[in-house]
Amino acid sequence: MTPVKSKLGLSKPKIAKARELAADIAAPVQEFIDGHTTVTIERATLRLLGADGATSDGVPVPNLIASQCADKLSGGAARYYLNALIKQDRTPAELNKEIACGLDITKFELTDLGRIRNKAEEAVKGMDARIAGNVAHRNSELARNGGAMKSPLIYVIVATGNIYEDVKQAQAAAGEGADIIAVIRTTAQSLLDYVPYGATTEGFGGTYATQENFRIMRAALDETGSKEGRYIRLVNYCSGLCMPEIAAMGALERLDMMLNDSMYGILFRDINMYRTFTDQFFSRMINSAADIIINTGEDNYLTTSDAVEKAHTVLASQLINEKFAFNAGMPARLMGLGHAYEIDPELKNGFLYEYAQALMAREIFPDHPLKYMPPTKFMTGDIFKGYAMNTLFNFVSRATGQSIELLGMLTEAIHTPYLQDRHLAIENALYVHNTMAGFMDEVEFKKEGVMARRARQVLDETIEMLSDVKRRGLFSAIETGMFAEIKRPRDGGKGFDGVYEKAPGYYNPVEDFLKKKLEIGRRPRAASRG
């Protein structure tokens, strides 16, 4: 990313105070997280240990094992899978086939824990080698062609519902100049409490996130990247009821970025808050170990709230997301905190407010690969006005040193983008980024001007909000609608029955490995230098 010299004159003590409040807010939630597991954490653990495949009816093997374990999940599912590998003297692939055909692995008498630990060490070593190999390959490719240094990275989406059609559109977009391809998930997959198996061709509004689909798209983008002389990054959605499992699949198949937010599922998908907070911690440990950049979802707040009146809720959420990510061992360089260009274009000086908000984010989070989202809320179908709005968005993105820029489409609010829509969006962005490359080095802002005053106001309102959230507690703050003006009950929502208090002797070798690798609990949790 391009370093941005401070121009807004924000108070460093106030920024530090906001971070301190976010840490105080996260602390009691982290206590709950540390004492609990979920059904999808156990399934993700099984996947990373080798559990894979599905029955003839499409029921995934990890789901079968979790169902067999039932309430035993509170002690961890891994011991039963590892025990079965020992007792049956099978490879994971062989055992998976037997489970898919009806074998209940919880019926085996548990062998000596030492033998289980030895088998776990073998499985975890294989997992680590595969993930480490993916990281090394990515870093090698980025170093070879300089792709790690470009900013902002141009991000576009594909969403045909058919993975093979997605490949065609993704390769075309990469050929036009896109740096990042995101495959939109099929509508409501976040509410499925399982991950479909195999390649899929019938999604609605997007394509199912499956490990095979990840593999297919990864191979396609590697092929195109080789032709273009660039490494093309791949993104999917590490959210919903299967958040940790999607993280595991992405780590195994070398995805580069994942949409992964600590509160998005609670607010916008009505997933239980205890489930979501616990799942996000485990998923972020996996993402961090795999060197995967996460993208948080604060842009969504501005689709339900006014982008001027509630701008401080975006910053408050970014700070909370940052703290939960630090708790999971994630460095700032992997935190693609989200925000968006969503102010009503009819508002006088709206552009200056957008500029101030984006620059404020960059100055408060100088080490983070910020993800900036385009105008959508006020797109009307007037493609000429939409193109003008996207041009201003491209200007702000480049001027404020954003790292990841999801391009706006002139046909937003009309239809799913055509290839030519993406072509125009990429052409516009490349033109703007190039023609104003040194702009920020040439300008200063008035200390009492519109932008500086606006940024100070938002920071002050953020501190006030975080103080209120700390007083109430985060669970109560969500219940009362303090974020995105959406209220969610703490004991309601989807997936609540999949949360388990860890039993004495809880065993999860993947969790133990990740915490050791990321030094969680053994060193002070990092803070940004912002």
First to last CA, the chain: 15
The pLDDT, as a whole number, for residue 1 is: 45
> How far is CA 435 from each of CA 399, 403, 410, 425, 445, rounded to the nearest angstrom?
11, 18, 21, 16, 21
The pLDDT, as a whole number, for residue 5 is: 66
The closest alpha carbon to 84, from 58, 57, 51, 52, belongs to 51
The CATH code of the domain at 37-124 is 1.10.8
Q: Which run of H or E residues covers position 501?
A: strand 499-501
Provide the greatest CA pair distance for the chain.
73
Phi, psi angle pair for 306, to nearest 5° = -70, 130
Q: How far is Cα 343 from Cα 375, in angstroms, rounded to an integer?
A: 8
One digit per residue, the tens of pLDDT, for the chain of length 530 reads 444 568 999 999 999 999 999 999 999 999 999 999 999 999 999 999 999 999 999 999 999 999 999 999 999 999 999 999 999 999 999 999 999 999 999 999 999 999 999 999 999 999 999 999 999 999 999 998 766 667 899 999 999 999 999 999 999 999 999 999 999 999 999 999 999 999 999 999 999 999 999 999 999 999 999 999 999 999 999 999 999 999 999 999 999 999 999 999 999 999 999 999 999 999 999 999 999 999 999 999 998 999 999 999 999 999 999 999 999 999 999 999 999 999 999 999 999 999 999 999 999 999 999 999 999 999 999 999 999 999 999 999 999 999 999 999 999 989 888 889 999 999 999 999 999 999 999 999 999 999 999 999 999 999 999 999 999 999 999 999 999 999 999 999 999 999 999 999 999 999 999 999 999 976 554 444 44
> How far is CA 3 from each of CA 24, 366, 373, 402, rounded to the nearest angstrom?
29, 7, 20, 10
Residues 6+ apart with CB under 8 A from 150: 179
How distant is the alpha carbon of residue 341 from its chain centre?
Answer: 19
Active site residues per annotation: 264, 299, 371
Q: How far is Cα 42 from Cα 508, in angstroms, rounded to an integer?
A: 8
